[in-house]
Structure 1
Amino acid sequence: LHAFDFNKLEGDEIIVRQATESEPLETLDSQRRTLTPPMLVIADTANPIGLAGIMGGVNTEIDEDTTDIFLEAANFNAANTKATRSALGLNTEASYRFERGIRHELAPIALKRATYLISQLCGGIPAEGIIDTFSAPHQIKTIEITETRFEKILGVPVAMKDIWNIIKRLGFEKIEEDVAQVINVSPPIWRSDISIQDDIIEEYARIYGYDNLPTSSLASPIPSQGSENPQTVREHMRDRLVSAGMNETISYSITDLETINLFDSISSDQQPISIANPMDASKKYLRPTLVPNVLETLSRNRRTNQQTGLRLFEIGRVFLPLQTDEIDSMPVEKEEIVGAITGFSTATDLWLESDRLMDFFDAKGIVEHIFRGLSGVLSFTKSDGTTYETGKMADIFLNEVLIGQIGELKSDLCEFYDLSASPVVIFHLSLQAIQTVAQVQFVNYSESSRYPSSFRDLALISSKEVNSESIVSTIMKNKLVADSFPIDKYEGAEVPDGKHSLTMRIIFQSNEKTLSAKEIDRAHIQIIKSLEHQYKISERYFSNER
C-alpha cells in the first residue's frame, strides 16, 4: 500500500511498467538511483514515481500542503522485487514482505481498510469506486488433508474432526462438506507461507502441543551402523597420534619444482602434475609427498618458539603422476600420514633428563603407540635412503607389508629448512597400505591381577645387529613377565666395539600369588640364559659390582 500526492501526478493515469535503460528516480530516502530493465516502476504519464514493492519517489511525496491523495494497493512479483532490491542495495520493510510473497486477496482488503481509517480519523472524503486492473478472478488455493498423512508425519492416528476443530480456529476454511477422512481446505489470506499439507500438520501440532503427542516405539529395530574400514582406521590413528602428544596441522596441496626435486619424490622419467590455473605462480604443482609440507610448518613454528619440543603430524592426500598417456587419465591420489619431532623432550622419567633432545627412538615409540588397537604385527627393519642419515633409518612393516619409513632427517635438509639446532626425526606412513592389511580391533577387557607387581632393570651387552623388538619378544615368553620395554641405550667406555648396552625394564607379576624375591631371581636367570642362547647377549656388570 502506498499513498501519492494526487496533485503532483502528471496526467490522469498510473502505469506499472519496466524501467527504461538508465532511467533516473529519486526515492524517498533522498537518494538518486539509476534504474535498468526489468526493474518494475510505478509511473505517471511523464516519469517514474516509485519503485514497485520497495519505495516511493520524492516527486509525488505527501507533505503538509497535500490536499488530495491517491492510494495504490498491489501485489508485486517476488523474484523481481528481490532482484531489484539486491541490484540497488535498498532494503525496506515493503521489499522484505513482497519478496516472501503475499496473497492477492489482501490488496483490495488493505485498500478498503486504509480508505475507511482516513475517512474516520482524518476527515477524508473517498471518491466513488475502485479502479482494479486485476480483473480476472483469482483461483482459490486449496490443500487436501488426510488422516493417513497426519498419522505418517506425527506417528499417531488423529481423527479428522479433531484436526478441523483446531485448524478452523487458525482461519482455515473448508471447501466442501464433511468427509470422513479427507477434506480440502484453503489457508487464511494472511498465511501465504502455507502451501502443502505438511505445513498444516505443523500448525496442528504446534497448537495441540508437541509434548501432548504420545510417544511410540519405532516400527522396526534401528539398523546397525555400517563400518567403513578406511575411515575407521584413519580416525583411530589420528586419535592415537593426538594422545601421543602430537599436534595436527593442515597445509595446501601445492608445491614448487625445487621442493619436488629436493626430496626425489618422483622418478626422473616422470613429470609432476601441474595446475592449469594456479593461485600462486611460484607453486603450480600438486604435491607428491607430505614431508616438505610438515617440515615447512615445523620450520615456521621453530622460528617463533626456540625453547620447547615440537611434535607435528599431518594426514592428507598426495598426487602421483599419471599412469597412462590418455587425455582423460586422472592422477593417482593416495593418503599419507607424516609426523615430525624435534627439540627437547618433556619427559620427566627418572632416566630421562628434562633437557634431553628427542631422537629416533622417541619417534619409534610414537609409531608403536599409534598402531596399538590395530590388527597386525608391526616390525622395523634397518634400511637406507636419500632423505635420512645413514644408519638412522628403518622401513616399517605391518604383517610383512611395507607401510612406510622412519628416520632422522639429513643435516643438509635440516639446514635448508633452518632446523639444524636439533635432530629432526620423521615417520612417513602410507595410509592406503595400512588400510588394506589392518582393522581396528575391538577392545577386550580382562580382570587385572589382585597381586602387586615388581620391576627390575636389566642392563645387557648386545650386538648392534640385534634390535630391541627381538629382545622384548624373548623376555615376554617368561610366564612371570607382565611387560617389558627398553629405557636406555649406552655406547662408550666399557662396551666392546660393535656392541652397545641396552637397559630393559622388566615387570614381573602373577595372577595367582605375590611373587617372592627368589621366584623373581629364578625368572631373571632364565631370561639371561634365553637371551644368551638366542642372541649371544650377556648381562652387563658395573665396576662397583661383582
Structure 2
Amino acid sequence: MRVPLSWLKDFVEITMTPEELAHTLTMAGMEVEMIDYIGQTWGDRVITAQIDYLEKVEGSDHLNYTKINTGSDQINVICGAPNIKQGDKVPLALPGAQLGDVTISETRKFGYVSQGMLCSPRELGMGNDHEGIYLLEPDTALGRPLSELVGDVVFDFAIKAHRGDLHSIIGIAREVAALTKQPLRLPEPTFSEQGTPVQDLVQVTVEDSELCPRYTARVVSDIEVGPSPRWMQRRLLAAGLRSINNVVDITNYVLLEYGQPLHSFDYDRVPEHHIIVRHAHEGEIMTTLDDVMRKLTPEMLLITDPTGPTAIAGVMGGAVSEVSDQTHTVLLESANFKAGSVRSTSTVLGLRTDASSHFEKNLTPELTIEGTNRAAHLLSALAGGKVHPGIVDIYPRPVQPRVLTFSIESVEWLAGMTVTQDEVVEALRSLQFGVEPAADQRTMQVTVPTFRQDIDEAADLVEEVIRMLGYDRIPSTIPSGPLPEPTIDRWFEREQELRTLLVGTGLNEVVSYPLTSRARMVNVLAHIDEASAHVLLQATIASGPQERALDAAATAVEKTDTQYDPLSLPAVTLANPLSADLEVLRVTLLSNLLELVQENSKRIRAGLRLFEIGRRYLPTGKGKLPDERRTVGLALSGPTASSWLPELSRPMDFYDLRGVVENMLDSLRIRTYRFVPTQHPTFHPGRCAQLELAYVTEDGTESYHPVGVLGEVHPLVQQRYDLPHRVYLCELDMETLFSAVPTRLAYRTISRQQELIRDLALIVDAGVAAQDIQDDIVRHGGELLRSVSLFDVYTGDPIPAGKKNLSYTLVYQAADRTLKDIEANNLQESIIRVLHEDFGATLR
C-alpha cells in the first residue's frame, strides 16, 4: 500500500525525517518496503511551463510540434501525447534532467529539434499512467521547479492481511500518532442537507444479513460530473490510482483514506429506485464495469434492482447503472460484506479489485457511516452536489465492542518484559482502546475498538503493548533446562546432499509453487490426450518398459484429433483456490521448469542450468491423502559456459543432461544403471531415454526398475512455450533413486597386477541398443572383466545398410596374478560367440 507523506500529515503532526518514520513504523510491525522520493532528482531541470503553440508534425500520425514558454525563454519540444492543447500548463524536463534511469537530452525528430520532454505521471514517478501528459492547474506560475508543487515522499507498506484497519491512510496515521505521542486529527465532514428525505427516494431490501451485516445508502443530486481538482488527482496518482472523474475519484479517495469501499450508482438508472441485496439466481449473468459478461452462481451475493443485477457485492459494479457524464443524481452505497463471501466470489470470477481486497480484511460495519459522510462532504464541495437528508441504514445486529480482562503479568509471562500498569494503560489508550484499571494495579478491563477485528484474547493485547513500548525491551535470555533430543530427518539430509551435488555440477536451484492448474500441466504434452496425460500420473515418472511406452506414444499420436479436456486430469483440487491458475497440486515438475525456462530465456542470454527439488502430488482416490512423491527435476537450455574461450561455446545437448545425471549417480555411489530408449509425450521421439537402476532380488537375480525420464523437449512443446533454444529436461523419482543407494560400502584392494586392454568392434542391426550389447558383455565377462565402455558408433560406408558399428573397450585384470594374453583372448572369443548368438553380431 502506497501512502503519501503529505496526505499522512493531514491527520498527525510529523517531525521525523522520512527515514526515521519508516524505521519507527517498521519496528512496530508495519513494514515499509520502500520509500519513493517524488521529485528528489529533478532539481531545476524539471519546471512548470506552458504550451504557446502546437501543430501536427508532417509525416507522423501522432507527433506534435510545440513551442513551450518557460517564463524566461521559449523552446521547441516534440510530443506524442493526445491530451495536450495550446494554453495548457505542463511539466517540462529540460536537457540534463534525470527521470528515473533516463537522462533527458536534445534530440532531432522529423527535421525538428526537440529541446526537452513534456512528462506523463509515470515518467514523473507519480503513478503508472502513461496515456497522456500530466496537466497542471491553469493558475500555475511558469518556470517554478516542479518539485515545489508536486514533490512528495511516498511510503510503500507491506501490511499483513489480519490488520484490515491499517489498509487506509487514517489507519496508518493512528499508528503514527500512537508511536510519536501526537494527537490524531480525524476529518470532520460538514455539509448541509436539503431536499426530499432519502427514505422517500430509496428503498433497500437485504435478504441475507449474514453476508451483508450493514447496508447504507445516501442520495446526492445536482452533481456536475467532471475532472477532479489537481490536488486530489495528485494524491490518487501517488497512491497508485488513476483519476477518472470527480465522482469516481471521490469514492476512491475515501477508500484510500478510510479503508471503506464505496460504490456510486446513477440514481436515475436504478429501476423503481429499489436496491435489493440477494443471492444470484442459477444461470444469472451480468456485465461488469470492465465490459466483461460474468456468469454468476447462487453462492454469490449481488446488489440488484427489481429487473436484475446492478453490482457484484463487494467486488465490482455493473455497467447498467454506471455513473456517466450525463449523471446528475448519485445513489451512494456504503456497505459491509462478509469477508469470506467476497473472497470466494472474487476467486471464482477471477476478479480481484481494490474493493474486494479491502472487504477480505474483515472490515468493521461501523466504518460505513464514516465513509458515506466523508464522501457526501466531498461530493458537495467538489461536485456541487446537494445532499438529501438522512441515511437508509439496514443494520439489524449492531456490532458490540468486546471487553477483555487483562493483567500486566501476561506481558511478563509471554514476553519476559517487566511493565507497569501506567505503561500498559498509556500504550493501549494511544491505540484508542478503552481501559479501566483496577485498584490492584495489576489488572484492567480493556474495551477493544470495533475497527480492531484482529484482537481476540489477552495475548493479542500483549503484542500491542510490546509494539508500543518497543521490541528492544524484550530481554535477551539463554533458554534454561535440558535441550530436547534432536530429531533426525533422513529426507532432509538426502535432499541437502542432492542439492549440494547439483550445485557443484554447475546448476542453479529454483523453487516454484506446488500449486498450479490442470491446463498448465497438460501444456507439457506434445499431443494433449488422455493417454499422454496418464503418463504424468505415474509414481516413477517414466513411461515404464520400452514396449509399453512405445504403445502409449502410438496411442497418443492416434488420438491427436480427439479433444481432451484438461479438467479431466486427476489432481488434488483446492476447495478455495487463490486463483484459477493455482487450483490444484502439481503432478509433475516439468511444467514449472518449462515456465521458468521460458521466463528466464527472455532476460538471460547465457545458458540455463536449473534444478528443483520438490514434491509431486498424485491422487489416490476420493477422500484419501495424495501420494507425495519426492522428485528432482533438471532443465538445461542454451549455450554451454566457456568463459575462458568463448568461441568453444556450443548449444547444450542431451549428453550434457546425461552427464549431469551420471555425475549425480556416481556421487551417490550408484554403480549399476542403464539408459534405455523410450518414448514420452513431452519429449522428442528418438531423443528420450528412461533411467533404470539395478536391484538384486532375494533369490540373487538382478532386475532393473525405472526411476525417471530425460530427453529433449518435443518441438511442439518448445513452440508452445515460445522457447528460443532446445530444452533438455529430466524428472527423477527421489524415493526410487535413494532406495538404490547402498547402505554399506564394500571396498576391495586395488589389484597390483597388469591390465590387459582389448577393443571390440561389432557390426549389428541398426535397431540393436548399445546398452543391451554392453549388458550382455558384462554378464558373460566373468570376474576377469573389470570394465566395458563404448567409444564409437558408426554408420555408413563400408558398413552395410541397416547395420551399424559399435566399438567397445574391454579391460581384463586378475586380482592374484598377471593375466596371459591367451586367457584374455579366450574370454574375448567366448564373449563374441555369445553376442553372435544373442544379437547376430559379427566382428568388423
TM-score, normalising length from structure 2? 0.35
Change (3 A) 1:488 1:228: farther
CA distance in 2, matches of 1:76, 1:464: 90
- What is the aligned-residue identity percentage? 25
Q: Which residue of 2 aligns with 1:443?
A: 745
Change (3 A) 1:464 1:339: farther
Give the deviation of 1:418 after TM superposition. 3.4
- Indicate yes or no: 2:422 matched with 1:52: yes
Change (3 A) 1:345 1:445: farther
Which whole-Å deviations, capped at 9, do the CAs of 1:167-225 have from their partners, x for residues lacking one? xxxxxxxxxxxxxxxxxxxxxxxxxx99xxx97x99xxxxxxxxxxxxxxxxxxxx9x9
Q: Which residue of 1 aligns with 2:681?
A: 386
- Indicate yes or no: 2:829 matched with 1:537: no
Contact kept, 8 Å, 1:478 with 1:527, in 2: the verdict is no
Which whole-Å deviations, capped at 9, do the CAs of 1:51-98 have from their partners, x for residues lacking one? 8137999xxxxxxxxxxxxxxxx97569999948836954379x94xx
CA distance in 2, matches of 1:259, 1:92: 47
Summarize the alignment of residues 264-303 of structure 1 with structure 2, pairs less than 5 Å apart. Answer: 264=533, 265=536, 269-303=568-602
Equivalent AA in structure 2 for residue 53 of structure 1: E
Q: Give unmatched runs, 5+ long, in structure 1.
A: 1-25, 41-49, 58-73, 101-192, 203-222, 348-352, 541-546
Give the deviation of 1:255 after TM superposition. 1.9
CA distance in 1, matches of 2:725, 2:782: 43
Q: Helix, strand or coil for the counterpart of 1:32?
A: coil
Equivalent AA in structure 2 for residue 386 of structure 1: P
CA distance in 2, matches of 1:448, 1:538: 34
Change (3 A) 1:515 1:306: farther
Q: Which residue of 2 aligns with 1:32?
A: 183
Equivalent AA in structure 2 for residue 86 of structure 1: E
Q: Helix, strand or coil for the counterpart of 2:423?
A: coil
Q: State which of 301, 304, 313 in structure 1 corresponds to 2:611.
A: 313
- Indicate yes or no: 2:615 matched with 1:464: no
Change (3 A) 1:52 1:391: same
Q: Which residue of 2 aligns with 1:86?
A: 464
CA distance in 2, matches of 1:312, 1:514: 48
Equivalent AA in structure 1 for residue 733 of structure 2: S
Change (3 A) 1:490 1:362: farther
Which whole-Å deviations, capped at 9, do the CAs of 1:479-509 have from their partners, x for residues lacking one? 5442222234333443333333333333444
Q: State which of 510, 521, 528 in structure 2 corresponds to 1:249.
A: 510
Summarize the alignment of residues 178-197 of structure 1 with structure 2, pairs less than 5 Å apart. Answer: none
Q: State which of 237, 255, 258 in structure 1 corresponds to 2:519.
A: 258
Q: Helix, strand or coil for the counterpart of 2:725?
A: coil
Equivalent AA in structure 1 for residue 749 of structure 2: E
Equivalent AA in structure 2 for residue 391 of structure 1: G
Count of matched residue pairs: 361
CA distance in 1, matches of 2:621, 2:463: 53
Change (3 A) 1:512 1:305: farther
CA distance in 1, matches of 2:460, 2:574: 39
CA distance in 1, matches of 2:670, 2:648: 34
Contact kept, 8 Å, 2:692 with 2:705, in 1: the verdict is yes
Change (3 A) 1:496 1:392: farther
Q: Helix, strand or coil for the counterpart of 1:53?
A: helix
Give the deviation of 1:357 after TM superposition. 4.6
Q: Helix, strand or coil for the counterpart of 1:419?
A: coil
Equivalent AA in structure 2 for residue 316 of structure 1: G
Equivalent AA in structure 2 for residue 338 of structure 1: G
Which whole-Å deviations, capped at 9, do the CAs of 1:391-438 have from their partners, x for residues lacking one? 33344444444433333321111222333533x333333334556x64
CA distance in 2, matches of 1:429, 1:252: 18
Change (3 A) 1:28 1:273: closer
Q: State which of 763, 766, 789 in structure 2 corresponds to 1:485.
A: 789
CA distance in 2, matches of 1:244, 1:27: 54
Change (3 A) 1:287 1:28: closer
Summarize the alignment of residues 100-499 of structure 1 with structure 2, pairs less than 5 Å apart. Answer: 241-242=502-503, 244-262=505-523, 263=525, 264=533, 265=536, 269-308=568-607, 310-321=608-619, 323-324=621-622, 328-344=623-639, 355=649, 357-372=651-666, 378-398=673-693, 399-422=703-726, 424-434=727-737, 438-451=740-753, 453=755, 458-476=760-778, 477=781, 479-499=783-803
Which whole-Å deviations, capped at 9, do the CAs of 1:220-268 have from their partners, x for residues lacking one? xxx9x99877667666655555565544332111223422332334696
Equivalent AA in structure 1 for residue 744 of structure 2: F
CA distance in 1, matches of 2:178, 2:515: 51
* Greater CA drift, 481-490 or 516-525: 516-525
Contact kept, 8 Å, 1:54 with 1:81, in 2: the verdict is no
Change (3 A) 1:530 1:329: closer
CA distance in 2, matches of 1:472, 1:464: 15
Give the deviation of 1:290 after TM superposition. 1.0
Q: Helix, strand or coil for the counterpart of 1:418?
A: coil
CA distance in 2, matches of 1:87, 1:456: 82
CA distance in 2, matches of 1:295, 1:341: 10
Give the deviation of 1:293 after TM superposition. 1.1
CA distance in 2, matches of 1:527, 1:256: 53
Contact kept, 8 Å, 2:679 with 2:689, in 1: the verdict is yes
Give the deviation of 1:439 after TM superposition. 5.0
CA distance in 2, matches of 1:361, 1:238: 21
CA distance in 1, matches of 2:180, 2:772: 85
Which whole-Å deviations, capped at 9, do the CAs of 1:250-287 have from their partners, x for residues lacking one? 21112234223323346964454433443444333321
CA distance in 2, matches of 1:303, 1:523: 56
Q: Give unmatched runs, 5+ long, in structure 2.
A: 1-176, 186-400, 407-419, 428-439, 445-456, 526-532, 538-563, 694-702
CA distance in 1, matches of 2:611, 2:808: 29
Q: Which residue of 2 aligns with 1:8?
A: none
Contact kept, 8 Å, 2:606 with 2:641, in 1: the verdict is no
Summarize the alignment of residues 63-82 of structure 1 with structure 2, pairs less than 5 Å apart. Answer: none
Q: Helix, strand or coil for the counterpart of 2:469?
A: coil
CA distance in 1, matches of 2:178, 2:517: 55
Equivalent AA in structure 1 for residue 592 of structure 2: N
Equivalent AA in structure 1 for residue 519 of structure 2: E
Which one has more relative contact order, counting CA pairs under 8 Å at least 6 apart? Answer: 2
CA distance in 2, matches of 1:81, 1:314: 40
* Greater CA drift, 488-497 or 405-414: 488-497
Contact kept, 8 Å, 1:376 with 1:438, in 2: the verdict is no
Q: Helix, strand or coil for the counterpart of 1:482?
A: strand
Change (3 A) 1:381 1:226: farther
Output the aligned Cα RMSD: 5.2
